[in-house]
Structure 1
Amino acid sequence: MSGLVLPPGAGRRLTTRAQDVTFKVTAADGSVSSIFEVVVPPGFDVGAHTHDRGQEFFYVLQGTLDVFAFEPAARTGDSWHDWESASGERVVRAAAGSSMFVPPGCPHAFRNAGEEPVRMLFQSSPSPDHERYFEEICEIFAEGRTVDPDAVQRLRDRSDVRQITPLRYEPPLLSGISGS
């Protein structure tokens, strides 16, 4: 029996303007969890959501993400950024070295509110649920300049993702560029 050793940068990579995901360990490797390296672009907000059966672990490698993993005292439909739990938990600014574990049924989200891409290690169980999800969401993002929210919702409906607030990708405007 052998394990799996990958050098830096190795793995199957899916890249679009809003998604950069490298598959590190998958069901094809015999794993019960899927592990990915994910680059989160500035302006990307996955939206608050839950999973009925899936659990997730996030570890920030480089940069800073806004994250939360709790049931809010009140769910609002448009944004999770100001949510607070009944016990006072709030959204956290997670820097490199921070981690977040999300058990099944727990509302959670992340966003890159900064101006630089953020690198994180992401593990999800059971495998291969998120493998298929990343493949399909990358296809949706690759289709054009805007994201079809109905296509995203259909994918999430099939993928154990119960959306609470919308996924958003609003890259910051480039400053200092003028047209001629």
Structure 2
Amino acid sequence: MDDPVGHLVRAGAGRTVHLGNIILSFKDVAAAPLGACSICVSESQPGSGAAPHRHWSYGEWHIILEGKYKCRLGNEIHDVVAGDMVYAPPGSVHGFRNVGEGTGRQLLISWPPNHFEAFMTEIAGGATDTGRPGSRSATDFRRIAASYGVEFVDTDI
């Protein structure tokens, strides 16, 4: 029997999507057994983040790598820091805001694969890698979000 072969993903490999003060780096894991999910590193500047929202079509893990965030999970608000992990199942209200003094970093794991990446790429107007996003009206943003099963809620973090 042959030895199993692992899967190496190099730093900087994959696709990058820019959304204002947030940079999302999607890793190519399709060839690995974990290919049934998407893996993304999110970097955010102080004050930025994802407004409270829910998505019915996918769940996700947020693993805090660096920084300090306020996190809404359902009706509760938590302070989360490096080493903390947050699971948001499909349909749960959640959101994050970087409240630290520097760049915050999270590892996001979501499934099914490529769904979150396709959503973020469309929101960014197709601007990936070195490109910058075009501006989107709030109506356009919410229309695109709805087409991916994402609903932004009118609460704060």
2:28 matched to 1:25? Answer: yes
TM-score (norm 2): 0.80
Shift of 1:25: 3.4
- Size of the aligned set, in residue pairs, is 147
Shift of 1:22: 0.9
Pick 1 or 2: higher relative contact order, CA cutoff 8 A, min separation 6. Answer: 1
User: Contact 2:16–2:24 (CA<8 Å) still a contact in 1?
Assistant: yes
User: What percent of counterpart residues are identical?
Assistant: 26
Which whole-Å CA distance do the structure 2 matches of 1:29 and 1:2 have between them? 9
Counterpart of 1:93 in structure 2 is 79
1:142–1:28: structure 2 CA closer, same or farther, 3 Å change rule?
Answer: farther
User: Contact 1:63–1:118 (CA<8 Å) still a contact in 2?
Assistant: yes
Shift of 1:148: 2.0
Shift of 1:108: 0.9
**SS state at 2:96 partner:** strand
Report the residue type matching 1:61 in the other structure: L
Counterpart of 2:129 in structure 1 is none
Who wins on radius of gyration, i.e. which is larger? 1
1:2–1:158: structure 2 CA closer, same or farther, 3 Å change rule?
Answer: farther
Which whole-Å CA distance do the structure 1 matches of 2:116 and 2:6 have between them? 21
Structure 1 unpaired stretches of 5+: 73-89, 168-180
Question: Quick check: which one's strand share is greater?
Answer: 2
Task: Please give the root-mean-square deviation of Cα atoms over the aligned residues, in Å.
Answer: 2.4
Q: What are the Cα deviations for residues 99-137 of structure 1, in whole angstroms up to 9, with x where unaligned? A: 101111111111112332201100111112101012112
